[in-house]
Structure 1
């Protein structure tokens, strides 16, 4: 490691104690998660269906396109993270990225869901590919510095969970918007109509832009740290980050969970229409139920974590998810709507535990490392965490697209028409089998997580 002078270790600019953070700053910062969640959930849950059933792109090609664009993150995430760590402005080094990330993220969202209906399939696929690359870049520029900010805002162990519980509130709001409003629009305007997705693209872009800009505006007075006079070289940074056993274990947990969650999201709309033979009004109703339930679960998750610890709370949420997704194997068109609603409502507890505990544990790891070395590496740590999120989330559309292609799914027919045992199993692979196995793997990895509150206070 390159040695760093003592004066590089996180000077305060607010003049307050390290645990002092106002509710307005928490809410303002957390509001950016509304745009981030709409971006990620829409691409993860809607893009594959849109590309196959509306743009009529081959399922295998559609899944591969979404996956390949994530290869770009191999370069972009660590570069942006390193850049935001080393930027010297005399003020927050993260906030400028939020501004430009908001513009690119909103613009790319419009591009994706207003893809021109070119006659040639390759032309449609090529346009989506370019739009997805811009989306990937915009998401990275905003999210990597954005997620680095909480570890600078406070050094209090439980305050970090509080910050991310506010973030969970906005993610829940995004789930309400995307989960209820989007399927309602598609059901009313036509789920196979190009214009339906154009409305979603423009409306979603407005929400994304406003929420991200609000995070930029309201964090002007948030506590931040400054880059040191001398910063380690990139290769040294990478070596240090990947030698942190707590971080590597947390990355493994997130990778396992998100492969399962992404597979479930990509298969979700197909499963509802094809296997359950329901319409999108049920999905809209689910969004109305799940959003408020997530808001209720967020403070409960924080309360539980204060009593049994963060990793144990995370394990509890992960086990709940495994049990619930396992029940999809017995689902059929004859089951009542309340069974679908119950499953999705219980999954919202797992979502709250996953999001709040994972991010709280990440900020613990970052601050523990800073105390040990005197070097702030929020951007580098967050970059690889963000890359893991996006890269593993890309496996969902890839897996489901390949499975549907091998099962003989015809992209030129309405998705509910082709009911074969092969298609049912392809969709169960995405919504049940992979999520359950990956969830169990996450529990196994979490059982070995050892960083506790007392370690941070040494």
Structure 2
């Protein structure tokens, strides 16, 4: 590892991987549930299970991927080979995911999506875990990790903005199943670009040879579970991933059934993600001035307030809804920046205290928790829709009862507020300070 400032080429190269993580982390959460309920005609509760189950598999796969990459030895570094293999496999599986043949069988449609999404989840595990593990090995400097994450979040923001903003527009411009097929191919291309960019961009990164990862996987996981700061940070991440996942899942429904403008989905999404282009440096400055934990708490508060402001969406002008989603976007940016900057600190302190290299194990559990949270979010949202009596359809917007429209709003406002409020209690239990991180160097 190096304590020297990282060259810009490495920062940019590493950040390019966020084109893949941002695109895959966004588009399925935004459009897969509407694809199932409003194009394939699958009932909301069943659709929620299809969205959830493959991601739940990552709870098992991600720690395994971390363990394998901890042990892997290669002249290319322990992590980089997995980026290429996992990322390109993900691109192929994603193109297949939205290319369901029209055989007029809901059972076939559901099975196709389930299997393709399982393939996506598996490939993504072996890309994401090594990718997230790399910063703790690239540099051991506390501030440099924050700077590295700021580059990553900047690219992540642009990737989310492009993929999430353009995907509904591509779908609506073409329409029907073909619109989803074309959208899937475009996003698959973005996934491939991010993969290749990260692989080649980090070829000069100062990553040392892999160390010994002693003990069995169960023993490693037990050690991770005993790391209190990591545990509370992970719980916070999962609660907020649930909140964000439910909000992303609700954007398309909010546009069509509350604002009554399908094209508003892209605008709403840009309102959520667009502020990051401006406020990312501001959140970074807050973290440098007041500390990462206080910055994280402030960002969480803004996220919760924005979600609360969406509650009267049925009764206020459209511009008010856009403003509320913009506030959500300001908080969303912060809750992306701070945990990504805090995780490498936890990993570095553990390595200094234990003498063992466990970055892959930590990040495997971390990404499993995040992935599960983002998957459970749409699943919970689907249950809210089902409880409200949401009517699925095959290509045209169905007439929804008032209870379903109310459920659409509750799922995108009340549910995220409750989850974000709960995350305050877990984040307060995180105690690691900058001085402890500096002492561990």
The TM-score with structure 2 as length reference comes to: 0.95
Once residues 308 and 415 of structure 1 are traced to their aligned partners in structure 2, the CA distance between those partners, rounded to angstroms, is 50
Q: How does 1:111-150 map to 2 (within 5 A)?
A: 111-150=96-135
User: 1:259 aligns to what?
Assistant: 242
Once residues 299 and 262 of structure 2 are traced to their aligned partners in structure 1, the CA distance between those partners, rounded to angstroms, is 29
Q: How does 1:100-115 map to 2 (within 5 A)?
A: 100-115=85-100
1:420 deviation in Å?
2.4
Partner deviation per Cα, 1:151-185 (whole Å, 9 max, x = no partner): 11111112111111111111211222123222222
User: 2:319 aligns to what?
Assistant: 338
Once residues 143 and 203 of structure 1 are traced to their aligned partners in structure 2, the CA distance between those partners, rounded to angstroms, is 20
Asked whether the 8 Å contact 1:274–1:415 carries over to 2, the reply is no
CA separation of 1:38 and 1:91: change in aligned 2, threshold 3 A: closer
CA separation of 1:195 and 1:416: change in aligned 2, threshold 3 A: closer
Asked whether the 8 Å contact 1:277–1:416 carries over to 2, the reply is no
Asked whether the 8 Å contact 1:177–1:287 carries over to 2, the reply is no
Q: How does 1:271-282 map to 2 (within 5 A)?
A: 271-280=254-263, 282=264
Q: How does 1:220-239 map to 2 (within 5 A)?
A: 220-229=203-212, 231-239=214-222
Asked whether the 8 Å contact 1:289–1:345 carries over to 2, the reply is yes
Once residues 213 and 105 of structure 2 are traced to their aligned partners in structure 1, the CA distance between those partners, rounded to angstroms, is 53
CA separation of 1:385 and 1:230: change in aligned 2, threshold 3 A: closer
Asked whether the 8 Å contact 1:104–1:137 carries over to 2, the reply is no
2:155 is aligned with 1:170: yes
Partner deviation per Cα, 1:417-455 (whole Å, 9 max, x = no partner): 434231123213320111001111111221221101101
User: 1:392 aligns to what?
Assistant: 373
2:423 is aligned with 1:442: yes
Once residues 189 and 70 of structure 1 are traced to their aligned partners in structure 2, the CA distance between those partners, rounded to angstroms, is 29
2:49 is aligned with 1:78: no
Asked whether the 8 Å contact 2:41–2:394 carries over to 1, the reply is no
Once residues 213 and 396 of structure 1 are traced to their aligned partners in structure 2, the CA distance between those partners, rounded to angstroms, is 30
Q: How does 1:171-250 map to 2 (within 5 A)?
A: 171-190=156-175, 193-229=176-212, 231-250=214-233
Any idea what SS the aligned residue of 2:413 has? Answer: helix
User: 1:24 aligns to what?
Assistant: 9
| 1:360 alignment partner, one of 341, 359, 371 | 341
Structure 2 runs not aligned, ≥5 long: none
Any idea what SS the aligned residue of 1:328 has? Answer: coil
Any idea what SS the aligned residue of 1:331 has? Answer: coil
C-alpha RMSD over aligned residues? 1.7
Once residues 439 and 226 of structure 1 are traced to their aligned partners in structure 2, the CA distance between those partners, rounded to angstroms, is 39
The TM-score with structure 1 as length reference comes to: 0.92
Once residues 415 and 423 of structure 1 are traced to their aligned partners in structure 2, the CA distance between those partners, rounded to angstroms, is 16
Partner deviation per Cα, 1:207-241 (whole Å, 9 max, x = no partner): 11011111001101101132235632222211111
Count residues with an aligned counterpart: 439
Any idea what SS the aligned residue of 1:330 has? Answer: coil
1:287 deviation in Å?
4.6
Once residues 16 and 63 of structure 2 are traced to their aligned partners in structure 1, the CA distance between those partners, rounded to angstroms, is 24
Structure 1 runs not aligned, ≥5 long: 1-11
1:371 deviation in Å?
0.8
2:50 is aligned with 1:54: no
CA separation of 1:230 and 1:326: change in aligned 2, threshold 3 A: closer
User: 2:385 aligns to what?
Assistant: 404
Partner deviation per Cα, 1:5-44 (whole Å, 9 max, x = no partner): xxxxxxx4xxxx4233111111111111011111111111
Once residues 403 and 290 of structure 1 are traced to their aligned partners in structure 2, the CA distance between those partners, rounded to angstroms, is 22
Once residues 251 and 31 of structure 1 are traced to their aligned partners in structure 2, the CA distance between those partners, rounded to angstroms, is 24
Asked whether the 8 Å contact 1:55–1:117 carries over to 2, the reply is no
Once residues 283 and 196 of structure 2 are traced to their aligned partners in structure 1, the CA distance between those partners, rounded to angstroms, is 28
User: 2:434 aligns to what?
Assistant: 453
Once residues 319 and 247 of structure 2 are traced to their aligned partners in structure 1, the CA distance between those partners, rounded to angstroms, is 19
